[in-house]
Amino acid sequence: MEIIKSAGADFGLILNFEITIFGVTAGVRLLTEDVGEQKFVIEPNHANFDVLTAPVSFNDMKILKSERRPRGVKDRRYAIVYEINAAHFGTINKISLPFSIVNGEPESEQETDAFMEISFADLAFQINLEEEALNQGKDLTFDAYQKQLNLKNISLAKERVVEALELKFRKIFEKRDSDKKQDDDKEKVQNRVFTMHDKDHIANMLQLPIPTHLSQKGLECNCRLCQNIKEGQQQDSGKIFLNSLTDHVVARKLVTHNDNSTSEACTFIEWFYKIEK
């Protein structure tokens, strides 16, 4: 078996003294369409419930694939389902926020889709609906919810967008440096935060039209922001189109084909991933 994801989980329950909790079992559940589902297991997958201390802890939780090479999983969303044994009251299910599973390094497009869902979709509300359906023995509806998501067509407060990018920025460095033991390395990870200058710079990149020096070189931007500006529509200075994250041109990149280098448009998210390296 191979480790796909490792984490820890801690949660507590509001106790009713007429209910006896015996333990909590964790498992992986596919939330999106079940087509050739890949099977995964969790270690550890069980924890006893201590009525004196109340919290249940799954330390160093690992999600492992039971097949040698997972296929077709990157577009699906999974969740950890915690089955709580509540004696004669039956099983109470609690579901984690959804996540994706990748084989090797994630592709930027799939990684961006997952990042936008986690950052900007109302996943907590939807997961509550899924828990209710699961506990009532009904079918889950997350697949339909995900298919109708159209995050790129909305705009949000610039502070929320920049904050989400900062969290993403820190998360990648934390993942890369998680195996380092030295205190100074850990301190470097903790200090990877955006200054106010960084935040203003990123907001401006996402709110201003394609830079003049790029348009003068023949590069075009067809994001919603630039289209609105071309049409003379007034822009809200306090908001950012999420479409700008994936489609707004902010720089040039050199692409080599058959030993020939050409200059092509570089979108914001491409630039963002490059500065993390």
Distance CA 87, CA 218 (A): 69
DSSP string, 192-212: ----HHHHHHHHHHHHSPSPH
Q: What are residue 99's phi and psi, to 5 degrees?
A: -145, 165
Q: Which of 95-109, 142-156, 160-174 is the least confident region?
A: 95-109
Nearest of 149, 103, 155, 156 to residue 126 by alpha carbon: 149
Examine the pLDDT at 178 and tell me if it is beyond 50: yes
- Structural domain for 175, as ranges: 155-275
Distance spanning both ends of the chain, measured CA to CA: 30
Last residue of a domain, one of 121, 149, 177: 149
On whether both 144 and 242 belong to a single domain, the answer is no
On whether both 6 and 89 belong to a single domain, the answer is yes
SS3 state at 26:
strand
On whether both 167 and 222 belong to a single domain, the answer is yes
The average pLDDT across 236-253 equals 93
Nearest of 154, 268, 155, 273 to residue 221 by alpha carbon: 268
Q: Can you name the residues that pair with 48 across neighbouring β-strands?
A: 23
pLDDT of residue 76: 84
Instruction: Please give the share of the chain, as a percent, with pLDDT higher than 90.
Output: 34
Higher pLDDT, 65 or 72: 65
The average pLDDT across 237-260 equals 89
On whether both 128 and 170 belong to a single domain, the answer is no
**Do 94 and 11 meet the contact criterion of CB atoms below 8 Å apart?**
yes
Task: Tell me the one-letter amino acid at 20.
Answer: T
On whether both 13 and 105 belong to a single domain, the answer is yes
Last residue of a domain, one of 101, 125, 149: 149
CATH number of the structural domain spanning residue 7: 2.60.40
pLDDT of residue 277: 54
Helix axes 158-176, 196-207, angle to 10 degrees: 120
108-125 as b/e: b if 16+ CB within 10 A: eeebbbbbbbbbbeebee
On whether both 142 and 162 belong to a single domain, the answer is no
Mean pLDDT of the chain: 80
Distance CA 171, CA 201 (A): 20
Strand 249-257 with 239-241, pairing: unpaired
pLDDT of residue 126: 94
Last residue of a domain, one of 130, 149, 168: 149
Nearest of 167, 88, 95, 93 to residue 125 by alpha carbon: 95
pLDDT of residue 59: 73
Reading the block at residue 17, the tokens are: 């003294």
On whether both 226 and 264 belong to a single domain, the answer is yes
Longest dimension (CA), the chain: 74
On whether both 123 and 202 belong to a single domain, the answer is no
On whether both 134 and 171 belong to a single domain, the answer is no
On whether both 72 and 94 belong to a single domain, the answer is yes
Distance CA 40, CA 77 (A): 13
On whether both 46 and 105 belong to a single domain, the answer is yes
Distance CA 59, CA 56 (A): 10
The total number of structural domains in the chain stands at 2
On whether both 103 and 175 belong to a single domain, the answer is no
